[in-house]
Structure 1
Amino acid sequence: MDVANSNWLWISATPVVLMVLLQAGLFLRRAWKNGQEMGLSDDQLRSGLKTGVISAIGPAIAVLAAMLALIATIGGPVAWMRLSVIGSVAFELPAAEIGISQLGYGFGDDGITETAFATSVWTMTLGGIGWLLVVAVGTPHMEKARERIVGGRDTLLPIVTSGAMLGAFAYFVSGEITSGAPETGSAAVGGLVMLALLKLADERDVQWIREWALGSAMAVGLVVGMVVHAAAGGGW
């Protein structure tokens, strides 16, 4: 852990995190400029930005909790860097465990060598390159593929896009709700809270409820999952 939390690792991780922040700033600036070119008013753009910031609170809490778990296993610098770039503890923790196990260790063991730690970090880093390459190579061709799917009928474009998003979310959620009672309870209650808040916002035409709906639903779902886990354990 002295090596895992050394100053050299903090120095090495800092440029990566700064690059992520720079990218976020560039995307925000570009999105604002494109919004103005599309004819959106500054009030609409500010409302969209506010909604995005609020909606990010729930996922940010989950990433923070994951970072605490990762810090205890691989130290602060690498956990900070990896979750700033990828943000998926579902990948990072198993990848780190796979890497360190190749030299016969497990997290929590005494006497873990520097080589075993380095192997764990390389496994996380190289293992995360795959989807980044797919995105980098495939994204420029996605719009053409989407247009071919609808056969030139522009009215189908938003339908296909919405269907793809629903399918992606359903794929991830279905894997979680079958994992055990906490996951099922979290997804079910979170979904019901989301529906209730959106219905309330539509009935009373209150914009701030729509803005807080996703973050609130995720927070409630997380709490319900922890309560169910504490009361009933992780299984069915």
Structure 2
Amino acid sequence: MWFASVPVVIVVLLQAGLFLRRAWDVGGDVGLSDEQLKSGLRTGVISAIGPAIAVLAGMLALIATVGGPIAWMRLSVIGSVAFELPAAELGLAQFGYGLGDSGITEQAYATAVWSMILGGTGWLLVSALGTPYMETARQKIGGNNENLIPIISSAAMLGAFAYFLTGEIPAGTPETGSVAAGGLVMLGLLRLADERDIQWLREWALGTAMVVGLFVGLAIQLTIGSWW
């Protein structure tokens, strides 16, 4: 299983390296300085810390069912914990098993793995076939007005975050507290960074807000639990 999973992860790492190299080259072509490029890279790395903690927690649950190699492979590609865990559980449920159960049969194991793999092909196809047309669509929405394009991009990003949050806020008190704490920390850090012009604080703001929100939600869950 390790030999089967390693090539997939290697492809993902190669893709990440190629995208990073192209982004760096194109950044120079459009007039970004080396300092701006380095700042963007640091921001991306720091912002990945929060989601990585959540992925690690989900991976531990997935390892208990499908083992280390498959869990490592699935969570290294475009899939997410929010999908992989329910997909594996759905496959196991067809044979009367659940996540973490012992004595899972080969058929149940194979079904869980195929559920994750086949279920995740949808967004791979959409990304592969639709991405080349996204920039054209964005330009048409903006009416070729260069001033509108950054506004449209920001609105789309805010809409994406809002979509995910609308499912978390009513889920329970820990989720609501986590969202509120993360949002307040993000606003506070960005305001402080703007007032005092602290660039490194801007870079750490998103990652810090995610980690604080994560621990606040955990603390609420362990202390008062969920009120709804």
* TM-score for the superposition, normalised by structure 2: 0.95
Residue 235 of structure 1 deviates from its aligned partner by 4.5
2:104 is paired with a residue whose SS is coil
Which of the residues 36, 43, 56 maps onto 2:48? 56
Which of the residues 170, 176, 192 maps onto 2:162? 170
Segment of structure 1 superposing worse, 210-219 or 105-114: 105-114
Q: Which runs of 5+ in 1 are unaligned?
A: 1-8
Which of the residues 89, 92, 107 maps onto 1:97? 89
Counterparts of residues 78-97 of structure 1 (less than 5 Å): 78-97=70-89
Q: Please tell me whether residue 29 in structure 1 is matched to residue 29 in structure 2.
A: no
Q: Check conservation: 2:64, 2:99, Cα contact below 8 A.
A: no
Q: Which runs of 5+ in 2 are unaligned?
A: none
**Paired residue type of 2:92:** I
Change in Cα spacing, 1:110 to 1:59, as seen in structure 2 (3 Å) is: closer
Residue 150 of structure 1 deviates from its aligned partner by 2.3
Q: Percent identity?
A: 70
**Cα-Cα RMSD:** 1.3
Segment of structure 1 superposing worse, 145-154 or 65-74: 145-154
Distance in 1, Cα, partners of 2:227 & 2:7 = 42
1:178 is paired with a residue whose SS is helix
**Paired residue type of 1:233:** G
Change in Cα spacing, 1:234 to 1:124, as seen in structure 2 (3 Å) is: farther
Instruction: Show the counterpart of 2:31.
Output: 39
* TM-score for the superposition, normalised by structure 1: 0.92
Q: How many residues align?
A: 228
> Would you identify which runs of 4 or more consecutive aligned residues in structure 1 move more than 4 Å?
none
Q: Check conservation: 1:74, 1:117, Cα contact below 8 A.
A: yes
Measured against aligned partners, the alpha-carbon deviations of 1:194-217 in whole angstroms (never above 9, x if no partner) come to: 111111111111111111111111
Counterparts of residues 7-156 of structure 1 (less than 5 Å): 9-156=1-148
Q: Please tell me whether residue 222 in structure 1 is matched to residue 210 in structure 2.
A: no
**Paired residue type of 1:22:** L
**Paired residue type of 2:11:** M
Distance in 1, Cα, partners of 2:46 & 2:101 = 40
